[in-house]
Amino acid sequence: MPSLIKSRWLKPLVFLACLVPLALLVERGLHNGLGANPIERITHATGDWTMRFLLITLSVTPLRRILRQPDLIRFRRMLGLFAFFYGFLHLMTWLWLDKFFDPHEMWADLVKRRFITAGMTGFALMLPLAVTSTRGWIRRMGGRNWQRLHRLIYFSAAAGVVHYYWLVKSDIRLPVLYGAILAVLLLLRWANRRPVYNR
Amino acid sequence: MLVRIAPHIRSSEITPKRIYLNRRRFLASAAAGLWLARTPAHAEKLANLAKSPFSTSEKITPIEAATQYNNFYEFGTGKEDPARNATKFRTHPWKVKVEGHCNNPKTYDLDGLMKLAPIEERIYRHRCVEAWSMVVPWIGFSLAAVLKAADPTAKAKYVAFESFYDPSQMPQGRWAGIPFPYVEGLRMDEAMHPLALLCFGMYGETLPNQNGAPVRLVLPWKYGFKSIKSIVKIRFVEKEPPTTWNLANAHEYGFYSNVNPQVDHPRWSQASERRLGEFFKRKTLMYNGYGEQVASLYNGMDLRKYY
Ligand code: HEM
């Protein structure tokens, strides 16, 4: 198992796997397979995957410990960047296909609709993390500061959960499930407060 | 399960719609095997339909969209859940009870109900509160025919409607987050308005299960959720009756729920809508474009208060 996790070809494989949701969307889009309301389907799929990748990224650290596989850390940055990538697509779907880049409408939505405000908060919190995801930035900031900054991902995921909870009409099962997963991840973190230095 | 896979077989581009849909149905039934033998055949043709002056000449939404993209929370909250989960729904035999403040209460079976007036095709715009819309050729007659047959008394100020609910046939309903059976209501003058359609079919056939078989309302100037599906009870009442979405969330869904681009839903704008099949959004029209017929019903009412 450790040798598998360390193996050179696993990373490109995980990379490709992370692209599968997008590939499926594109493939279905090209073949008229996104149902009666394709734009809604794209918004939902990208939103779902932003949420999932945020939670997957957050589970890397506890999984390293639970599975005794410290090398899993290799994938954390990539997974986090995929959360950002799907979040970006999600935001673009809204900007382009829902608001058609109309600044007036965008602003109106942003201030009036609390679920949009929460979503935007979630995305905005991911931005500095994506920018500082390089080795250079870790060096420049120092491990401790960098780690502290990257704790923002918990807030981003929390904003994502609130965003989802606020946008559903009545069936709250999925947002509650995501919220519960996030709570468990936070608890695991709290139960293991010793800082983990990785690099 | 094959039933789920069938929609991914995309022969839509090369096969005429009707054949394509039938084939899909066939695939689903072949896969479903035994239980289907017990299910009554759905989708009977409805012929000799009169045309209606209320019909719009706008482009009709493809039948796939209108039958695979539905809100029918008893069968699940996903848009494609009803088409998938309602296949076993038993709509035979069916009884509709007309009761309350009237001189002529009566329980109809479906055939009896359908004989009350000649059925006609009405092509209406249909606007969902979620800001999407479609154009559907419904089949039925004005609700007024049933109401008049019951001979309501002076105490009948409102009409209350109730949907069928059977948790054993609709197990997904437990998770919908709204109370069932689904109930709706109209003021007497709204219910008597000729645009209010008691609907038995669409696209030339009886209603598919997921669209509210065997009988539903269609109220084209109101948000779609007012158009209650699978009706079992029509009751004349004196006071404004409770309505399901209002019970679930009074702040977001009012009793009237007329289409109104000026009054936003608290969580999204109602100013525009996406017509299924179109890329750009279009402006939403006051009363969904039926203002000429229905605006007078609401003269002098504050539509922000009575949303
Ligand atoms: C952390 C960032 C975000 C996460 C995790 C996230 C997640 C989600 C999820 C899970 C859904 C529901 C998908 C479904 O129903 O299957 C969703 C829907 C949606 N999101 Fe986001 N989102 C984020 C940011 C944003 C941003 C920045 C915007 C736009 C400003 C946005 C706009 C929307 C819209 C318009 C919907 C559809 C709402 C509806 O169908 O009524 N989201 N998002």
Using the atom order of ligand 1, give the atom closest to the CA of residue A160.
5
- The complex's ipTM works out to 0.82
pLDDT at position A197 = 54
Question: Is B10 within 8 Å of A31 when comparing Cβ atoms?
Answer: yes
- Give the burial class of B239: count Cβ atoms within 10 A of its Cβ; 0-12 exposed, 13-18 middle, 19 or more buried: exposed
Average pLDDT, chain A: 92
Instruction: Please give the domain boundaries of chain B with CATH numbers for all domains.
Output: 11-298 (3.90.420.10)
Q: How many whole angstroms separate alpha carbon A39 and alpha carbon B30? A: 32
| Res B17 pLDDT > 50 | no
Residue B7: band (very low, low, confident or very high) from pLDDT cuts 50, 70, 90 = very low
* Phi, psi values for residue B152, rounded to 5°: -65, 150
CA distances from residue B38 to A148, B27, B41, B123, B172 in whole angstroms, order as listed: 63, 17, 9, 33, 21
Dihedral Cα B59, B62, B67, B68, nearest 10 deg: -120
Question: Do residues B238 and B155 make contact, with C-beta atoms less than 8 angstroms apart?
Answer: yes
Average pLDDT, chain B: 87
pLDDT at position B266 = 81
pLDDT at position B44 = 87
- Residue spans of the domains in chain A: they are 2-191
Closest residue in A to B70 (Cα) is: A36
| Res B43 pLDDT > 60 | yes
Contact list in A for residue B71 (CB cut-off 8 A) is: none
Which tens digit of pLDDT belongs to each residue from B137-153? Answer: 999 999 999 999 999 99
Q: What is the DSSP string of A58-74?
A: HHHHHHHHHTT-GGGGG
What is the Å distance from ligand 1's center to B177 Cα?
A: 20
What is the Å distance from ligand 1's center to A98 Cα?
A: 12
Question: Out of B79, B176, B281, whose CB is closest to A170?
Answer: B176
Residue A191: band (very low, low, confident or very high) from pLDDT cuts 50, 70, 90 = confident
Which tens digit of pLDDT belongs to each residue from B231-282? Answer: 999 999 999 999 999 999 988 899 999 999 999 888 888 999 999 989 889 9
Contact list in A for residue B84 (CB cut-off 8 A) is: none
What is the Å distance from ligand 1's center to A100 Cα?
A: 17
Which of A98, A114, A169 would you mutate first to test chain B, the one with the most B CBs within 10 A? A169
**Closest among B149, B210, B152 to B186, alpha carbons compared:** B152
Closest residue in A to B65 (Cα) is: A36
Q: How many whole angstroms separate alpha carbon B137 and alpha carbon B200? A: 11
